[in-house]
């Protein structure tokens, strides 16, 4: 009787496994997208490895977004739901960077965008797209949206984005917005620098110091971002 019970259990387990694999097998046959679940109990590093395995695009943005997504899903950073993008943009970004592996369970974290700052978002997007190497490319617009959402956080920009260090952020800005990056000749903190550029573009000069060197807030704009 124990043997029969074991056989029945094995048959049921095999059937369940086959059922779980069938949608993915059909996806490979038809070319349709399939979902790769990312359990909440996984660490940021495990989620990152899962994303990295499914990287489809040769763009370096695939690496940076994998880091952002893994941190975001682990509750780090300040990005809102969908990384600050529209839901359809978020899905398109995933498909573009990670091919047919549409990662499930990592679209929302319970933080809605701050709609009271929409005008500020529009100004930031205009600034970034004007300095983009590929202004008509959807990938650039998506990265601008993510970067802007990070700008609305309250910590260092690389931390608000969920990147792993400031070097990640510097690389992201240089690749996607080279003209903007080229202006940061003194390695000013990125969030401070971006808003300084925005103020200058709008003809608004908040800082009253004649130069950064003599400003009493110099340490707040330059120096380590740890």
The pLDDT tens digits of the residues spanning 187-222 come to: 899 999 999 998 887 665 556 533 454 344 545 555
| Model confidence band, residue 25 (pLDDT cutoffs 50, 70, 90) | very low
Per-residue pLDDT tens over the stretch 102-145: 555 566 666 787 878 889 999 999 999 999 988 889 999 999 99
User: Which tokens hold the place of 82?
Assistant: 């969908």
**Residue 18 scores a pLDDT above 60:** no
To the nearest whole number, what is the mean pLDDT of the chain? 77
**Residue 6 scores a pLDDT above 50:** no
**Between 58 and 13, the higher pLDDT residue:** 58
> What sign does the CA torsion over 7, 10, 12, 18 have?
negative
**Between 226 and 2, the higher pLDDT residue:** 226
pTM to 2 decimal places = 0.76
């Amino acid at each position: 009787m124990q043997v029969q019970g074991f056989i029945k259990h094995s048959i049921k387990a095999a059937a369940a496994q086959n059922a779980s694999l069938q949608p993915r097998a059909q996806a490979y046959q038809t070319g349709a997208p399939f979902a790769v679940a990312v359990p909440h109990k996984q660490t940021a590093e495990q989620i990152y490895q899962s994303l990295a395995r499914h990287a489809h695009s040769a763009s370096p943005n695939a690496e940076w977004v994998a880091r952002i997504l893994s941190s975001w899903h682990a509750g780090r950073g300040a990005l809102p739901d969908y990384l600050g993008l529209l839901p359809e943009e978020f899905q398109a970004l995933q498909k573009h960077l990670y091919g047919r592996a549409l990662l499930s369970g990592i679209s929302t974290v319970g933080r809605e965008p701050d709609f009271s700052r929409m005008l500020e978002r529009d100004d930031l997007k205009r600034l970034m797209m004007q300095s983009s190497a590929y202004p008509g490319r959807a990938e650039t617009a998506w990265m601008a949206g993510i970067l802007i959402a990070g700008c609305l956080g309250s910590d260092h920009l690389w931390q608000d984005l969920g990147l792993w260090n400031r070097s990640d952020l510097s690389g992201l800005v240089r690749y996607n917005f080279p003209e903007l990056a080229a202006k940061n000749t003194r390695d000013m903190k990125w969030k401070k620098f971006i808003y300084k550029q925005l103020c200058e573009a709008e003809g608004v000069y908040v800082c009253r110091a004649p130069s950064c060197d003599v400003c009493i807030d110099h340490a707040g704009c330059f120096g380590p971002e740890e």
